[in-house]
Amino acid sequence: MGCGSSTTTVDYSLKKSERAMKAAILIQRWYRRYTAHLEVRRRCTWTIFQSIEYSGEQDQIKLYNFFSSLMDHFTPSNTKERDLITSIFSEKEINEEMELEKYYDFENIHLSEGYKGPHLCFPLTASHAAALVEAFRHKQHLHARYVLQLLLETWKLLKLMPNINRVSTCYNKEITVCGDLHGKLDDLLLIFYKNGLPSVEKPYIFNGDYVDRGKDSIEILMILFAFLLVYPNQVHLNRGNHEDYIVNLRYGFTKEVMQKYKVHGKKILRLLQIVFSWLPLATIIDQKILIIHGGISRSTDLDVIATIDRHKYVSAVKQPKRRKTTRQGQRQPGECCCGINRNDSSPVPSTYRSGSDSRPLNSISKGVRLSVDKELERCRKQVGLSDDTRVSLLLSESDTEQYEASELENAEWKQVVDILWSDPVNQEGCIPNVVRGGGCYFGPDVTKEVLEKHNFQLLIRSHECKQDGYEFCHNRKVLTIFSASNYYEEGSNRGAYVRMGPDLIPHFVQYQSSKTTRKLTMRQRVSRVERSAIRDLREQLFAHRCDLLRAFEQCDKTKKGKISLNDWANTVESVMQLGLPWRILRSQLVPNTTDGHIDYQAWFEHLAIEQPIKETPQSSSLLETLYRNRSNLETIFRLIDSDSSGLISFEEFRQTWKLLSSHLNTEISDQAISDLARSIDFNKDGNIDINEFMEAFRLVDRNPS
Amino acid sequence: MAEEREIAEAMISEIHKKITDAFDVFDHEYNKTVDVREIGTIIRSLGCCPSEGELHDILAEIEDEEPTGYINFDRFLPTMTKVLMERRYRPIPEDVLLQAFEVLDQEKKGYLMPEQLTKFMSEEGEPFTQEEMEEMLSAAVDPDKNVILYKDYVTMMAVEAP
């Protein structure tokens, strides 16, 4: 009896535990599949944001290259053209030494009676800097007079600093390194809250990209510069690729400054250009860890970098150009001389030769130059210049020599661009970074080579947003640190900073600066970020609908208005060139399919977005081109709005559009442009308000999901 | 006969494209390789529901003799095609899933205590990590009653077919 009952008990319990195990595995399998789906959605969302962001950067550089080549090869022969081009490219050279203080005569900027913002007095003390942080935390506004004064003092200090800062962890100090902040004041405040304000005991290194995209860029700069002035030996600021006025035109910093400082904004921006150009390029800890914003290339040589005149590169986007020589072949005063700090007789080592491993941002080969000339010719014809005024556009060989910088200057420029713009990849080698348009993609072999050459053990860089705020690669020899949380959208990523003591072992702190995301489940978070990405993507698709329609029609052999899923995916990619997984995204972008086919006309109806500007059959493709290039247009407008009134005249608008249309290879009739300009002039005063213009293109979603 | 073969070829072609797309999402370098740790996610995103043990079996087929930490598309494609053609590791129907939850809920109350589920998921079968457990609880636990109404939970979690 005993045996019988015990056998039954054992059997039952065995069965029970086996059942339990099977049940557990079932639930676990099912749950893991669910999270895998979420992960794919999150990954796709990320790719969408990133590819839109990088193609925007590429656009910016292409646009600038185009105008730059215009400057080189185009001789305007009417006043209007000349005025337009010079206003885009005017470089009011200021003899820094003498004139800065006079030009920025802030003594005469008086604080208004009702000013309730923070006051600064120089020399700054730690309590001033801390009070500034508190003031910004309470959303106060710093008066332009103090902004200018602070920037001037910062400039004076930065001028004394070498290109490469050297820092040591002696005295058991832990150093904190922060990555991109991009105008996100909340994140900087959170870092200071968690980690403490900068002080003698608490050194900080900030690795560039303080501005653009976020809405408090100027406040971040004020705080960082204030602490730099108070603790010049403990606070170190590297330059990022966004510390560059060309990039700022597109990514929001210029706009932010002009909006917050309507009267003195232009002065502030000009002074900022100078301050940015004086920011050091690199920081080294204990001669073992190299910290730079972007990355490296095979030719990166710190000895070269240490000797260049870094402030020559007001914008890293602009290739150095020598001015035309006078008849005697003498250089004109004020021109950059690269030999100032160097022994001119030193031979040029092989590393100086501009290699093929990274693309200089403005490489115009002869073939490209010729086609640019053809376009310019067309452009001139459109503008209506008669043949007598035709000027020789094709410069002779000897003439072109004057417009190209020496190999040495180019090699130096390349060193700077590589540091600010490059990205690490897992593939070996070093190739041009075509997605961003500048710098290169460098592999683990390049890292190994460069680190070994200088006897470093780690490269810390930023420049790329990471889901968890930081990421190692290249066998833990490269660390990316990114400090702007929720960069693409609320909930998209965490930010992080890293602390290191004398042992140089990194300790990470991650955070996310919003209170709401913590209460959401993973699914809710992913959904929310995803909705935002899909919305951005729909805008992009809508902006290209004429091209897409044409491509679909070519593909649709039966002319029934339907194409297969496969053709849809291939066509969309060939037009958009974003490298996205269109088949996976299809269900979010195209709601209805009938037996594996998509009705593409209906699809555009679905994507359709309400526009405040009335669309006629004649104007629809023009509007679409305008919409697609609104960022380019905004950039140009802000460039030519030289008195920063926020207004441009009809004539300026027309001229701008003509130049841009030759860049874009589209034909726009004079009448169409004039009609459009008139319709955009909302208050009918003959001027177009830049902000109003941009507002007109903030499209309203007709199908809110 | 030829028609049948055409249909079969079309089906295989569709399957190949699905696999390629899913693979490409994780192919960060655009060189047709993915990190081996992402393979589970990729396979699951294609509609399969393997256990961890079954995943290891698939990996054994795909991985190189000397594992490099990366999986090549050329090895992934044929194996994954077979998996999809043979409809292996199909997802679990809702009623079977409910029965699995009911193994814990002996008294058939209709709900589970969070501690119960935690102990079960963290100790039995192929245990959850702490992160997985926390995530599941955050969505599963009814905030007012502090219990897991598993029937509602399962219904809510039903994944739409891609």
Q: Looking at the predicted structure, is the pLDDT value of residue A538 above 80?
A: yes
Q: Please name the residue of chain B whose CA is at the shortest distance from the CA of residue A19.
A: B103
**pLDDT in the model for residue A396:** 28
State pLDDT tens for residues A33-50.
888 888 888 888 888 888
Residue A34 at interface with chain B, using a CB cutoff of 8 Å: yes
Selecting from A21, A29, A36 the residue whose C-beta is nearest the C-beta of B41 gives A36
Residues of B in contact with A22 (CB under 8 A): 100, 125
Residue A24 at interface with chain B, using a CB cutoff of 8 Å: yes
Q: Please name the residue of chain B whose CA is at the shortest distance from the CA of residue A570.
A: B17
Cβ contact, residue pair B135, A28, below 8 Å: no
Q: What DSSP element (H or E) covers A45? A: helix A2-73
Amino acid at A36: A
Higher pLDDT, A517 or A343: A517
**pLDDT in the model for residue B141:** 86
State the complex-level ipTM: 0.91
Residues of A in contact with B97 (CB under 8 A): 26-27, 30
Q: Are A200 and A234 in contact (CB under 8 A)?
A: yes
Cβ contact, residue pair A523, B139, below 8 Å: yes
Higher pLDDT, A658 or B147: B147
Selecting from A24, A521, A581 the residue whose C-beta is nearest the C-beta of B138 gives A521
**pLDDT in the model for residue A151:** 93
Residues of B in contact with A36 (CB under 8 A): 40-45
Selecting from A40, A579, A584 the residue whose C-beta is nearest the C-beta of B41 gives A40
- Among residues A285, A320, A284, A286, the alpha carbon closest in space to that of A302 is found at A284
Rounded to the nearest angstrom, the minimum Cα separation between B1 and chain A is: 23
Cβ contact, residue pair B159, A522, below 8 Å: no
Q: Please name the residue of chain B whose CA is at the shortest distance from the CA of residue A588.
A: B162
| Integer Cα distance of A104 and A102 in angstroms | 5
Q: Looking at the predicted structure, is the pLDDT value of residue A345 above 50?
A: no
The SS3 call for residue A511 is strand
Higher pLDDT, B96 or A645: B96
Q: Please name the residue of chain A whose CA is at the shortest distance from the CA of residue B129.
A: A28
User: Hey, what are A621's tokens?
Assistant: 């493709």
Residues of A in contact with B128 (CB under 8 A): 28, 31
**pLDDT in the model for residue A182:** 95
Q: Are A484 and A182 in contact (CB under 8 A)?
A: yes
Q: Please name the residue of chain A whose CA is at the shortest distance from the CA of residue B45.
A: A37
The SS3 call for residue A649 is strand
Q: Please name the residue of chain A whose CA is at the shortest distance from the CA of residue B122.
A: A24
Q: Which of B126, B134, B142 is most worth mutating to test chain A (most A CB atoms within 10 A of its CB)?
A: B126
Residues of A in contact with B103 (CB under 8 A): 19-20, 23
Q: Looking at the predicted structure, is the pLDDT value of residue A637 above 50?
A: yes
What is the pLDDT averaged over residues A440-451? 95
Residue A521 at interface with chain B, using a CB cutoff of 8 Å: yes
Q: Which of A29, A43, A48, A573 is most worth mutating to test chain B (most B CB atoms within 10 A of its CB)?
A: A29
Residue A523 at interface with chain B, using a CB cutoff of 8 Å: yes
Residue A577's Cβ-count burial label (10 Å; 0-12, 13-18, 19+) is exposed
Lowest-pLDDT range of A174-188, A217-231, A480-494, B148-162: B148-162
Other CB atoms within a 10 A radius of the CB of residue A24 amount to: 22
Q: Looking at the predicted structure, is the pLDDT value of residue A359 above 60?
A: no
Q: Looking at the predicted structure, is the pLDDT value of residue A428 above 50?
A: yes
**pLDDT in the model for residue A354:** 30
User: Hey, what are B83's tokens?
Assistant: 């998996």
Lowest-pLDDT range of A298-307, A558-567, A636-645: A636-645
Higher pLDDT, A272 or A638: A272
Cβ contact, residue pair B138, A522, below 8 Å: yes
pLDDT band of A59, cuts 50, 70, 90 = confident
Average pLDDT over chain A, rounded to whole? Answer: 76
Rounded to the nearest angstrom, the minimum Cα separation between A529 and chain B is: 17
CA angle A685, A687, A691 (to 5 degrees): 115
Q: Which of A15, A19, A25, A33 is most worth mutating to test chain B (most B CB atoms within 10 A of its CB)?
A: A33
3-state secondary structure chain B: CHHHHHHHHHHHHHHHHHHHHHHHHHCCCCCCEEEHHHHHHHHHHCCCCCCHHHHHHHHHHHCCCCCCCEEEHHHHHHHHHHHHHCCCCCCCCHHHHHHHHHHHCCCCCCCECHHHHHHHHHHCCCCCCHHHHHHHHHHHECCCCCCECHHHHHHHCCCCCC
Residues of B in contact with A441 (CB under 8 A): none
Whether the CA torsion A66, A67, A70, A72 is positive or negative: it is negative
Lowest-pLDDT range of A188-202, A278-292, A323-337, B65-79: A323-337
Rounded to the nearest angstrom, the minimum Cα separation between A78 and chain B is: 49
Q: Looking at the predicted structure, is the pLDDT value of residue A14 above 80?
A: no
Lowest-pLDDT range of A259-263, A266-270, A572-576, A688-692: A688-692
Residues 614-633 of A with CB under 8 A from B: none
- Among residues A194, A223, A4, the alpha carbon closest in space to that of A124 is found at A223
Following DSSP, what letter does each residue of A133-183 receive, concatenated? HHHHHTT----HHHHHHHHHHHHHHHHTS-SEEEE--TTTPPEEEE-B-TT
Cβ contact, residue pair A20, B103, below 8 Å: yes
Q: Looking at the predicted structure, is the pLDDT value of residue A452 above 70?
A: yes
Q: Which residues of A are catalytic?
A: 242
Cβ contact, residue pair A522, B100, below 8 Å: no
Residues of A in contact with B49 (CB under 8 A): 29-30, 33
- Among residues A584, A544, A549, A578, the alpha carbon closest in space to that of A565 is found at A584
Q: Please name the residue of chain A whose CA is at the shortest distance from the CA of residue B153.
A: A31
Cβ contact, residue pair B45, A26, below 8 Å: no
Cβ contact, residue pair A28, B128, below 8 Å: yes
CA angle A319, A337, A408 (to 5 degrees): 55
Selecting from A22, A29, A44 the residue whose C-beta is nearest the C-beta of B50 gives A29
**pLDDT in the model for residue A593:** 76
- The pTM for the full model equals 0.73
Cβ contact, residue pair B45, A521, below 8 Å: no
Cβ contact, residue pair A31, B103, below 8 Å: no
**pLDDT in the model for residue A110:** 77
**pLDDT in the model for residue A4:** 40
Residues 414-473 of A with CB under 8 A from B: 425-427
Residues of A in contact with B28 (CB under 8 A): 426
Selecting from B25, B30, B157 the residue whose C-beta is nearest the C-beta of A43 gives B25
CA angle A173, A178, A182 (to 5 degrees): 155
Lowest-pLDDT range of A329-333, A406-410, A478-482: A329-333
Q: Please name the residue of chain A whose CA is at the shortest distance from the CA of residue B138.
A: A521
Q: How many CB pairs under 8 A join A and B?
A: 111
Cβ contact, residue pair A523, B22, below 8 Å: no
Q: Looking at the predicted structure, is the pLDDT value of residue A390 above 60?
A: no
Residues of B in contact with A19 (CB under 8 A): 103
Q: Which range scores top for mean pLDDT: A111-120, A220-229, A354-363, A643-652?
A: A220-229
What is the pLDDT averaged over residues A261-272? 85
User: Hey, what are A219's tokens?
Assistant: 């406040």
Lowest-pLDDT range of A460-474, A570-584, B38-52: A570-584
Residues of A in contact with B126 (CB under 8 A): 24-25, 28
Residues of A in contact with B36 (CB under 8 A): none
% of chain B beyond a pLDDT of 90:
12
Lowest-pLDDT range of A255-259, A380-384, A552-556: A380-384
Q: Looking at the predicted structure, is the pLDDT value of residue A350 above 60?
A: no
